[in-house]
Amino acid sequence: MASAQVYPASEPARWIYLDRIRTRPGPFTNPDIFSGEQVAAAMETMKILVIGAGGLGCELLKNLALSGFKDIHVIDMDTIDISNLNRQFLFRQADVGKSKAEVAARFVEKRVKGVKITPHNCRIQDFDEDFYMQFQLVVCGLDSIEARRWINATLINMVDEEVEDSYKPLIDGGTEGFKGQARVIFPTVTSCIECQLDMHAPRAAVPLCTLASIPRQPEHCVEWAHVIAWDQEKPFPELDKDDPEHITWLYQKALARAQEFNISGVTYSLTQGVVKNIIPAIAATNSVVAAACCNEALKIASNCAPFLGLPEENYMMYSGNDSVYTYTFKHEKKDDCPVCGQLARDLTVDPAWTLRELVESFAARPEAQLKKPSLRAEGKTLYMQSPPSLEAQTRPNLEKTLTELGLEAGQEIGVTDPAFATVLFKFKLKFKP
């Protein structure tokens, strides 16, 4: 049996082995949507966005460049710290203090000729939908659940059913120690990150009495600086977790607190990790998960093989604790997802709760994880976090019970959070008997 024809790229010597994969159909390829002759040319003009240039992002940039993508943009607002060098291999000692996005882009461009990487040293929230509309694929290597939720909601809100190009596949990778995952999200078609939020349980809260009186761990000292010292001294109008000056203030306060109780281990990196809830990373896990993500990007771009998300499995879990183990499954789309669903999500509450208790519960609920929620019910505003004038006006409601506020079982409430400005979370109240 003769082998399928290989259509070489413009640099056959460099891409000969890649072309054998991307320009020939696989055993499960749909011949109606595969054209090997056009693949190499299409991949050279396709725009890819990588979000994050840290441990996972460095691997993603390298892999995507070596997979034949020629036009890549990367967003990261962080600067290089000396603690990054053990796993973020695109950086060197001389790069400490420089922009991660800019250094990573120049490094890969130098190694892989013909690849153009455009760096953006800013937040993802600094761009509007027009910016994201120019890309054909978005690949995330983030260490923040909040950032994942924001880009997920943004890409879903961009979808126009009458405009095919408005569907932007999102490939998300994440690692935690020796575990990781790669998933593919087709906005409004498959389950989204918000559908899967309960798989990322919020970290357990430390009692305030422990923070205030008997800290036992370096993390307790950081939380004390974050929760108590900041509120008491208010060194800046509002805490910006991405501002090095703010993190430095918290670090110095936490260090002094630790020395007072003879606790060691408080570092700038730990402070940043606790405050931003950064997930720890291991180089080997980053490498495996980034390879899985880039494999999906190549399959989506070339159609040379079936990819996660269509028709069935959309989530790959990896574990390297004892051996190398992967498991792929389909995470179902939820009809009551606040981002991509149509129905309100059931919310079981005690009618004797005060509104304050309800507001505080949203941070601990795995399916919500909202830190600064504002609540509305039909025909009335229950509590607004901002602007200050409206917060002061609705603050008395916090001490009233749900019954006193006239809320009833089966009633829908709308919840918003400044971190997700485009999302209205809809809940239907279910009262405990």
The predicted model gives 26-46 an average pLDDT of 82
- Is 209 assigned a catalytic role? yes
Q: Which candidate in 192, 209, 294, 337 is catalytic?
A: 209
Spatial CA neighbour of 34 closest among 19, 22, 16, 20? 22
249 and 187 in a common domain: no
The predicted model gives 98-121 an average pLDDT of 95
182 and 66 in a common domain: yes
Tell me how far apart the alpha carbons of residues 430 and 278 are, in angstroms, rounded to a whole number. 34
CB atoms within 10 A of CB 329: 11
Least trusted range by pLDDT, from 3-12, 122-131, 273-282, 398-407: 3-12
Exposed/middle/buried for residue 127 (C-beta within 10 Å: 0-12, 13-18, 19+): middle
239 and 215 in a common domain: yes
The answer, yes or no, to whether residue 10 has pLDDT greater than 80, is no
**Number of domains the chain contains:** 3
| Long-range contacts (CB closer than 8 Å, 24 or more residues apart) made by 80-88 | 81/268, 81/269, 83/269, 84/54, 84/55, 86/283, 87/55, 87/281, 87/282, 87/283, 87/286, 88/53, 88/54, 88/55, 88/58
The answer, yes or no, to whether residue 279 has pLDDT greater than 70, is no
5 part of a folded domain: no
pLDDT tens per residue across span 191-226: 999 888 877 766 555 666 667 778 888 999 999 999
The answer, yes or no, to whether residue 1 has pLDDT greater than 60, is no
57 part of a folded domain: yes
22: enclosing H helix or E strand: helix 12-22
The predicted model gives 251-258 an average pLDDT of 94
What's the pLDDT score for residue 6? 63
CATH number at residue 247: 1.10.10.520
Mean pLDDT of all residues in the chain? Answer: 88
What's the pLDDT score for residue 90? 95
Answer with the residue of higher pLDDT: 45 or 369: 45
Print the domain residue range for 63. Answer: 11-201+281-329
**0.85 surpassed by pTM:** no
CATH number at residue 396: 3.10.290.20
116 and 89 in a common domain: yes
The predicted model gives 28-53 an average pLDDT of 86
165 and 291 in a common domain: yes
